Structure 1
Amino acid sequence: MFGKGLGAALLSMVLGAGALEQAAAAEPSNGVVRIGVLNDQAGPYSDPQGPGSVASAQLAIKDFGGKVLGKPIELVVGDHQNKADLGASIARKWIDVDGVDALVDFGNSAVSLAVQELAKNKAVILNVSSVTDKLFGENCSPTGFVWNYDSSTIANAMGRATVKSGGDTWFLIVADYSFGHSLQQQIERVVVPAGGKIVGVARHPVTTTDFSAYLVQAQASKAKVIALLNAADNTINSIKQAGEFGIVEGGQKLAATAFYLTNVHSLGLKTAQGLQFVAPFYWDQDDASREFTRRWRAERGTTNAPTHLQAGVYSAVLAYLRAVEAAGTDDPVKVSEKIRELPVNDFYAKGAKVRADGRLMKGMTLYEVKSPAESKGPWDYLKAVREMPAEEIIRPLSESNCPYAPAK
């Protein structure tokens, strides 16, 4: 038997060791939490994401206090130039050499798919600007998340409503990479069962600026709806050139499936008026969104308004930091468990939950571009047509083929 003094000393040593282990666990693995914003910084998709997403991430870090678990939060930035191999190379170095704990944004679905696969269980992946629904389907990850909309959501929100309103024949102009291909599959999946018909498809390189050949095909098809399954500069150029061909005046309707506020700004209200698209955020939708916009403008040093992608980056980064704090560690698997456990409650997503497959259950709104006469000032571009809850438009978990989601 130990004496009381020795027993107390040993007990104190045991408790002290436990406290030290607990303290060691409750801090980042390398003494810092690093977050990487990886997107198109200067290319065709940079306006709706790019440096504006960096400003959103910086603002989220500032709002969190600049530290987590008592250690500093650092931000790094990379430009994947819309090349999957380059994006994967940057991500691999960040994770394996530079100790980056979470990667956010992306914008190019091929980049997202490559990065999410290589980072599985090694880093938290917050897909904000990428649209392929494979990210929470067959290519899902235990440490991967989808924070904005996706191809099946866009198809559900736009396809059914358009067919019901008489747009029953479609011609698809498709960006020739995984984003566009995924959108095409989803549009076909929704339009055809709803009674519509796909009368033609034309695919274009993401780097093209001349859409005349594709638009001529679409015009000749006599389709009631010409769906632009592309984004950013590709969409802007498509719409401008469609105006030159008199497509809308001829009775055909343009449907922008991936569209952003910056697209409206570039086109101008005279050209863009009447276009409809879905988005999870608009800077002027309520007081909270307007307050975020005021602070984002100050952070960015601009009078522009943030897009829904840039707002989503803020929300995703803040949710990640809250999960690190709650988990007491930056271990990606444990942090990911907390992201799924904690509600997301900010101006972007009020009380939203993250499903087992990594999908944030955030509703969308169908917006229509205002006419010049309806606009009351700078960046007053959109009017809400219909709000759609997440359960109505996001593919249900019962249809998920994510191997990490619970068996249905």
Structure 2
Amino acid sequence: MTTTTRRTLLGAAATAPAWGALPMSRARAQAANTIRIGVLTDMSGTFRDLNGPNTVAATRLAVQEFAARGFNVEVVVADHQNRPDVATATARQWFDRDNVDVVSSLAASSVALAVADLARERNKVAIATSTATSDLTGRACSPNTVHWVYDTYMLSKVAGAAMVRAGGDTWFFLTADYAFGHALERDTTGFVRAAGGRVLGSVRTPFPGTTDFSSFLLQAQASRAKVIGLANAGVDTINSIKQAAEFGITRRGTKIASLLLFITDVHALGLEVAQGLVCANTFYWDLNDGTRDVSRRILALAGGDMPVAMSHAGDYAANLHYLKAVADLGVAAAKASGRDTVARMKAMPTNDLAFGEGRIREDGRKLNRAYLFEVKTPAESRGRHDYYKLLQSTDAEEPWRPLAEGGCGFIRS
């Protein structure tokens, strides 16, 4: 592994020496037959656990699994610090100078929206695997972007509507004040009202910039809403839930709806605090033999004890499918046009150990099953990372916003 400023070359499938050591003709031939994947993600901030080392390992696993297919694959990594300006500057350098063909992961919704615009402008590929805003396949859709794993519409429909059906018919939102939080509150509000519920209010919380949610939680409690909806993620979710428990809010009968809860959050909270929380996910490491196998291999590459989240599974599956499309289209054609590569990804059915069979819809939305889980009690857990019990599942098409309702501008009716 070679480390350079703000990025890491993993050389997952490439075994050739550095380009500078090759004669010019060989260097150009090497570059022409090399696909470069840029993992642009959160390595140090709010979303590190649901990205971080496991995201890099999952991408490496996809590349290793695809090795010896007639072309080289290299992976570069950068930490965007959850800042759109940093992300776009990095992606621009990758596209314009470093011959990167696809940018994946992306994390924060504001980052993903900015990088998706740049990928369209440069005719490269953007794959969002840990991004929530449903706008990526709606008003901000692009023929150069694929959105994998989850989005605010799915989370709202599966988790939010379930809370209303269970009696939580009045809501108050704690909303992270950026694109993701706004989209999640908006989409959940629609499902709450459609199910006969009411939204009594909301408060915007700084992102990034706060670890103290006490005043916001007290405002929510004062509203007398039955459900406090957390339209946040990562460390913000963990801190909100911990502080709600410290204030005894849940003991007084108020439910906490963590609308985007990762298994990494449960791991950080511990079952004593997280037990009983309900969440929507599209992947769980212990669902079947395939999910157990891919999780074991990701952890073996990553080291440490952070469980494999649905975002990590998406890093593996999305990059694997991208490489299959490159092989099918041809390296030269794939490097020449990100739009054509994404079109080929949509034309090919998806199939991997993490999500099974599926497809990518015309607007770039990856369709696969979603699951409603409840966090186990400490007594129910059988061991390491055994955190969820399955409440219900959907088919692959059901949880996603219908194509006709998204408002994706490049799709012809």
What TM-score does the superposition give when structure 2 sets the normalisation length? Answer: 0.90
The answer to whether residue 177 in structure 2 is matched with residue 176 in structure 1 is: yes
Report if aligned partners of 1:28, 1:71 keep a CA contact under 8 Å in 2.
no
Counterpart residue number, 1:102: 102
TM-superposed deviation, 1:226: 0.4
Q: Deviations over 1:131-180 (max 9, x none)?
A: 00110111111110100110111111122222122111000000000000
Cα RMSD of the aligned pairs, angstroms, is 1.3
Counterpart residue number, 2:33: 31
How do residues 191-270 of structure 1 correspond to structure 2 at under 5 angstroms? 191-206=192-207, 207-270=209-272
User: Could you say if the C-alpha distance between residues 405 and 348 of structure 1 is closer, same or farther in structure 2, counting changes exceeding 3 Å?
Assistant: farther
Amino acid at match of 1:236: I
Deviates more, 1:83-92 or 1:395-404: 395-404
Report the Cα distance in structure 2 between the residues aligned to 1:261 and 1:140, rounded to whole angstroms: 28
**Unmatched 5+ residue regions in structure 2?**
1-28
Deviates more, 1:298-307 or 1:247-256: 298-307
Counterpart residue number, 1:187: 188
Report if aligned partners of 2:49, 2:306 keep a CA contact under 8 Å in 1.
no
Partner-residue secondary structure (3-state), 1:296: helix
Report the Cα distance in structure 1 between the residues aligned to 2:266 and 2:83, rounded to whole angstroms: 26
Report if aligned partners of 2:160, 2:257 keep a CA contact under 8 Å in 1.
no
TM-superposed deviation, 1:201: 0.3
Report the Cα distance in structure 2 between the residues aligned to 1:296 and 1:31, rounded to whole angstroms: 27
Counterpart residue number, 1:304: 306
Report the Cα distance in structure 2 between the residues aligned to 1:406 and 1:368, rounded to whole angstroms: 40
Partner-residue secondary structure (3-state), 1:351: strand
Partner-residue secondary structure (3-state), 1:77: strand
Q: Deviations over 1:256-304 (max 9, x none)?
A: 1111111111111010000000111011111111111221121112343
How do residues 220-369 of structure 1 correspond to structure 2 at under 5 angstroms? 220-329=222-331, 330=334, 331-369=337-375
Report if aligned partners of 1:108, 1:129 keep a CA contact under 8 Å in 2.
yes
Report the Cα distance in structure 2 between the residues aligned to 1:37 and 1:72, rounded to whole angstroms: 17
Report the Cα distance in structure 1 between the residues aligned to 2:306 and 2:268, rounded to whole angstroms: 12
TM-superposed deviation, 1:350: 1.7
User: Could you say if the C-alpha distance between residues 263 and 315 of structure 1 is closer, same or farther in structure 2, counting changes exceeding 3 Å?
Assistant: same
How do residues 157-176 of structure 1 correspond to structure 2 at under 5 angstroms? 157-176=158-177
**Unmatched 5+ residue regions in structure 1?**
1-26
Report if aligned partners of 2:61, 2:298 keep a CA contact under 8 Å in 1.
yes
Counterpart residue number, 2:139: 138
TM-superposed deviation, 1:61: 0.2
Report the Cα distance in structure 2 between the residues aligned to 1:179 and 1:356, rounded to whole angstroms: 22
Report the Cα distance in structure 2 between the residues aligned to 1:257 and 1:303, rounded to whole angstroms: 24
TM-superposed deviation, 1:193: 2.3
- Which of 28, 44, 55 is matched with 1:42 structurally? 44
User: Could you say if the C-alpha distance between residues 111 and 214 of structure 1 is closer, same or farther in structure 2, counting changes exceeding 3 Å?
Assistant: same
Report the Cα distance in structure 2 between the residues aligned to 1:304 and 1:185, rounded to whole angstroms: 31
Counterpart residue number, 2:9: none
Report the Cα distance in structure 2 between the residues aligned to 1:28 and 1:312, rounded to whole angstroms: 29
- How many aligned positions are there? 379
The answer to whether residue 405 in structure 2 is matched with residue 404 in structure 1 is: no
Counterpart residue number, 1:9: none
Partner-residue secondary structure (3-state), 2:172: strand
TM-superposed deviation, 1:29: 7.1
Counterpart residue number, 2:6: none
Report the Cα distance in structure 2 between the residues aligned to 1:28 and 1:344, rounded to whole angstroms: 29
Report the Cα distance in structure 2 between the residues aligned to 1:349 and 1:146, rounded to whole angstroms: 14
TM-superposed deviation, 1:349: 2.2
Counterpart residue number, 2:10: none
Report the Cα distance in structure 2 between the residues aligned to 1:164 and 1:307, rounded to whole angstroms: 27
The answer to whether residue 388 in structure 2 is matched with residue 387 in structure 1 is: no
